[in-house]
Amino acid sequence: MSDLKDKVAIVTGASAGIGAAIVQKLLESGMKVVGLARRKAKVEELEKGYEGKLFAKETDVTKEEDIIDAFKWTEKNVGPVYVLVNNAGVAYVSSIDEADAEKLSVAGHYPAGISGLSIYTASKHGVTAFTESIRRELAESGNKIRITSLSPA
């Protein structure tokens, strides 16, 4: 993957789980990776002897101003974004009849098997649908940006 060396990637939800694993794989390929997460210190723990360079940026993806700031900071301090991995979801636990409508947001392919995770499932399905919509718009416009969605398991 030498064609990715020194290119810039942003990974949301980079502090744990799939997001952290993606960060590590991108670092292995030599990329400059900006890991966005509310827990910046957890992201910083991921850089251990990789060819690439890790930049941890505290970001809450439920706050528009944090997202805008993260992209501006990345472009100014690291470089233009070549890869974006939208991994973060909202882990807001509530039954749907008790949910705060302002916390409903962007989630997977199947309903959660655990009671109280309806918002989280919707969040993950929203990321998938949003990504597919953007992919189609870019393809139809003739834009050279390519986008895809991966669903582990």
pLDDT tens by residue, the chain, 153 residues = 458 889 999 998 898 888 899 999 999 999 999 999 989 888 888 878 788 899 999 999 888 899 999 999 999 999 999 988 887 765 556 554 565 655 546 334 555 556 676 777 777 777 778 888 888 888 888 887 777 776 665
Indicate whether 143 and 102 sit together in one domain: yes
Indicate whether 51 and 19 sit together in one domain: yes
Q: Catalytic residue among 50, 82, 92, 120, which?
A: 120
pTM for the complete prediction?
0.71
Is 92 an annotated catalytic residue? no
Q: Which two tokens stand for residue 53?
A: 């360079």
Q: What is the total count of domains within the chain?
A: 2
Q: Which two tokens stand for residue 44?
A: 């910083």
Measured torsion, CA atoms of residues 120, 43, 62, 66, in degrees rounded to the nearest 10: -170
- Could you tell me where the beta strands, DSSP code E, fall in 25-80? 32-37, 53-58
Indicate whether 4 and 14 sit together in one domain: yes
Q: In what order do the strands lie in the sheet with 32-37?
A: 53-58, 32-37, 8-12, 81-85
Indicate whether 55 and 18 sit together in one domain: yes
Of 87, 112, 133, the last residue of a domain is 87
